[in-house]
Amino acid sequence: MTDSVIKVIFADDHNLVRKGIISLLDNVENIKVVGEAENGYELVSKFTEFKPDVVITDISMPQLSGTEAVKMIKEHDKNAKALFLSMYGGEDYVIMTLNAGGLGLIDKSIAKEDLIKAIEAVYKNEMYFGSEYDDEKIESLKKKFSVQKKEISEVAESITSREMEILKLVCDGLSCKEIGEKIKISIRTVESHKASLMHKFGVTTSTQLIKFAIENRLV
């Protein structure tokens, strides 16, 4: 436990989750929640207003994601410390956290003791990804990510302008029929381009296609 009172801002677009996490910290002597936000833009504004020691934010939020909000915050304050929150875990999310400049990642069902431990670690500028990820594994992931970035760059260069146009529309939620009507090509041609994209990305479903495109900033 640290002797200083750690000022925290918490951001999540789900009110029940936000209030639930905040309630876990109500009686913790060395941690004080000074503000809360329900989207990324509000988080950036509240950070400027309250100057917290630690930001805790959901990764996925409307209007502006938690990762994008933290990047904006760190452009103005490179020493800002962020702890991300997600329903999901795994290497992809650890890499996403590191790429956004975050120091840790916790699950939404985290126990109070572990939440306190995570906040105190991040406050001390230490990484916190749970017991599964020690320093050696984090370094290994960083190397793996640098390799992935090169591979993704090669994939991006192989995407044609028509495929990119279709990829953006797929990510907007349009069906193959709707895309065909919008850009005036046949459904079969749309499906052919979509199949080419899935092959290049190494995915097999539309959901995986969208996830890959968004996470790797291809759209």
145: part of which helix (H) or strand (E)? helix 135-158
Give the global pTM.
0.66
Q: Which of the four pLDDT bands, split at 50, 70 and 90, describes residue 2? A: low
Q: pLDDT tens digit string along 63-75?
A: 888 998 999 999 9
The closest of 143, 142, 191, 201 to 170, measured between CA atoms, is 191
Q: Name the fold adopted by 154-215.
A: Arc Repressor Mutant, subunit A (1.10.10)
Q: Which of the four pLDDT bands, split at 50, 70 and 90, describes residue 1? A: low
The CATH class given to the 6-137 domain equals alpha beta
CATH 1.10.10.10 in the chain, residue ranges? 154-215
Residue 121 pLDDT:
95
CA distance 123 to 104: 11
CATH 3.40.50.2300 in the chain, residue ranges? 6-137
Q: pLDDT tens digit string along 159-217?
A: 999 999 999 999 988 999 999 999 999 999 999 999 999 888 878 888 888 888 887 77
**Selected residue with higher pLDDT from 146 and 99:** 99
State whether residue 61 is helix, strand or coil. coil
Distance of CA 143 to the CA centre of its chain: 19
